[in-house]
A and B are shown apart, each in its own frame.
Chain A
Amino acid sequence: MKPFVVHTGIAAPLDRVNVDTDAIIPKQFLKRIERTGFGQFLFYEWRFNADGSPIESFVLNQPKYAGATVLLARNNFGCGSSREHAPWALLDYGFRAIIAPSFADIFYNNCFKNGILPIKLSEEQVQELFSRAESRDNYQLTIDLQEQVITDDAGLSYPFEVDAYRRYCLLNGLDDIGITLQYEDKIAAYEAKRETFV
């Protein structure tokens, strides 16, 4: 997993609540058996017309948000299915961080496991970021996970909270399986006393 320490990138505002994983990556694209290559299908039905031409009004198709790597979102982002294809698609497209007032649980977890940093801010703060990203061209945010702060070059500075352990794993790009296998003795001991019919 790619570590996340400090990241600077263009912020794109996606102005919808309850963005679900079906919208992030429509299911007709779930059938690949690899982890990569999903970015081209990200938000497919909002990004493209039925004939495959881009829908110009969609935020990611607007020139000022080209190359965006920070996604600004609204409440309950990532609700719906547990599919990890959603963070894979976001990552593959280039997003490294998502900022929203709230996230769906499974999606939130899946982000950390794939090297994306999901950040919860208050609705007012998210609204401020939306306003700035919409009113300026090439609006960039710098996200410092070490210091837990988001800044822009116009003096904005928002500290954010993140679970200490998640932060540690993300800063170091640590793989969960390797960590768990350090407890092999305990797992084996548990298995030895486990009743078969519970």
Chain B
Amino acid sequence: MKPRTMFEKIWDAHVIHEEPGKPSLLYIDLHLVHEVTSPQAFEGLRLAGRRVRRPDLTFATMDHNVPTADRFNVKDPISRQQMETLTKNCEEFGITLADLNSPDQGIVHVIGPELGLTLPGKTIVCGDSHTSTHGAFGALAFGIGTSEVEHVLATQCLQQAKPKTLEVHVKGELPFGVSAKDLILAIIAKFGTDFATGYVIEYTGEAIRKLTMEERMTVCNMSIEAGARAGLIAPDETTFAYLKGRRYAPQGEDFLRAVERWKQLCTDPGATYDHRVEIDASEIAPQVTWGTSPGMGTDITGTVPHPDSFPTAAQRKAAQDALAYMGLTPGTPMTEIKIDRVFIGSCTNGRIEDLRRAAEVAKGRRVAPHVHAMVVPGSQAVKQQAEQEGLHLIFQEAGFEWRDSGCSMCLAMNPDVLQEGERCASTSNRNFEGRQGRGGRTHLVSPEMAAAAAIAGHFVDVREWKREGVNKEVLQ
């Protein structure tokens, strides 16, 4: 048999029907559902008199609208209506729902892996673009629109044109104090926000093999910010160790058999990708974005660029618009940018390891007086774990607010919103205009960089802090 990439193996195993000139019909193993992109899909089913074909392969939660301060007190009537609608729809169609009362509730892309619903070799879809997160396990996972949500509910299949494959090879090793978030931000800054459009990325190389599962999820999560349909990382011992014993993962003998099969998923030697790029992890520094697109970022040691420094007229205009919106002057060192807010959380960086890394920086320090900082765990399980480890106390003593789980200020559909002109160091994935609130200014960073910025009141090179050790006061 011709050598195949991991993507091709998963794809081939799920094709139900193929015909030249038409999209393929793919079987979907797991459909994750949340309250924002599903109501119109259920409405469509009802209007057509259709049922959910496989409620057992469908799992729902509420995350986008959930208040993180007083979670049962949903003040916004329309938010409440969306959540109530999801509850009703799940009851009517027999779908398991992790609602606000459930210890399983959390951001859809955090709980899938936590519960062991996300497994290597699966096809996974959700009406949310960051579904690419699940690719960290070697699952083919992508975001779909509401029409497709309805389609999957009704048929458990999806019509898909076959994407092309792109290898992003990351050689070397991430230096001290540089995180997976910096890696993916650096990839996007280097190759652009649409370099992977039409492709499924497979991340390979030494640096990727060394990442933990949580770090791999951070990388795959932001594949969509490079335009990719999905991101994939081959499953290995790190993956299997993470999955072992998870609630919905195979158990006992079944697990061992599954591992044997999962090992077969890796790209065959000699298989070729449609395109390939390479980056050296050892050259990456902590990243901060300065603009309104995730590709508009630079090293913490850098400066706000001058629009004239870009090669094309369109890029110069985009940079000019971005700087005007962000209220930044070209040439300003990134470390001199003062911030008002800090948000640590989201499906990019709201997992337990992210909170540990932020806590390590926050420990024994104080949030700058003018900064309002908050930590929002990605799920109730993350929250509980963090509290067992005492991380919440570290954060609270440092002056961070400790919240309940949800998407929160990643997209500000709940009450966590930036005010006009406020500048935020955020561990989320999008710095689009207005994403965190009208007129709000978002700088994307890693959890440790966000924590350090909260304390200093401006961006700082967290590598220096980490070298100084956690307890030594390094502020002037």
**A joins B in a complex:** yes
The interface of chain A, by Cβ under 8 A from chain B, is 15-18, 20, 22-23, 26-28, 30-35, 45, 50, 74-76, 79-85, 87, 102, 104-106, 109-110, 113-114, 163-165, 176-177, 179-181, 183, 186-187, 190-191, 194, 197-198
Q: Which of B17, B39, B154, B412 contacts A177 (CB 8 A)?
A: B154
By the criterion CB–CB under 8 Å, are A165 and B194 in contact?
Answer: no
Question: Which residues of chain B come closer than 8 Å to A191, judged between CB atoms?
Answer: 27, 156
Closest A residue to B85 using CB positions: A33
Closest B residue to A76 using CB positions: B194
Q: Which of A181, A194, A197 contacts B254 (CB 8 A)?
A: A197
Closest B residue to A22 using CB positions: B432
By the criterion CB–CB under 8 Å, are B194 and A23 in contact?
Answer: no
Question: Once the chains are docked, how many angstroms separate the CA of A34 from the CA of B82?
Answer: 11
Q: Mark B47-71, 1 if CB is under 8 A from A, else 0.
A: 0101000000000000001000000
Known: A82-B145, A106-B129, A113-B145. A31 touches B65 (CB 8 A): yes
Q: Mark B36-52, 1 if CB is under 8 A from A, else 0.
A: 11011001000010100
Q: Mark B137-163, 1 if CB is under 8 A from A, else 0.
A: 000000111111011001111010100
Q: Which of A15, A30, A102, A187 contacts B27 (CB 8 A)?
A: A187
Question: Once the chains are docked, how many angstroms separate the CA of A74 from the CA of B318?
Answer: 11
Question: Which residues of chain A come closer than 8 Å to B318, judged between CB atoms?
Answer: 16-18
Count, chain B residues at interface, CB 8 A: 70
Question: Which residues of chain B come closer than 8 Å to A113, judged between CB atoms?
Answer: 145, 147-148
Closest B residue to A184 using CB positions: B155
By the criterion CB–CB under 8 Å, are B129 and A80 in contact?
Answer: yes
By the criterion CB–CB under 8 Å, are A114 and B250 in contact?
Answer: no
Question: Once the chains are docked, how many angstroms separate the CA of A47 from the CA of B414?
Answer: 23
By the criterion CB–CB under 8 Å, are B261 and A198 in contact?
Answer: yes
By the criterion CB–CB under 8 Å, are B314 and A17 in contact?
Answer: yes
By the criterion CB–CB under 8 Å, are A27 and B119 in contact?
Answer: no
Question: Once the chains are docked, how many angstroms separate the CA of A30 from the CA of B27?
Answer: 29
By the criterion CB–CB under 8 Å, are B433 and A18 in contact?
Answer: no
Question: Once the chains are docked, how many angstroms separate the CA of A104 from the CA of B430?
Answer: 15
> Does residue B399 face the partner (Cβ distance < 8 Å to A)?
no
Closest A residue to B142 using CB positions: A106
> Does residue B307 face the partner (Cβ distance < 8 Å to A)?
no
By the criterion CB–CB under 8 Å, are B37 and A22 in contact?
Answer: no
Say how far B146's CB is from chain A's closest CB, in angstroms: 4
Q: Which of A30, A75, A163, A183 contacts B16 (CB 8 A)?
A: A183
Question: Which residues of chain B come closer than 8 Å to A23, judged between CB atoms?
Answer: 432-434
Closest A residue to B150 using CB positions: A177
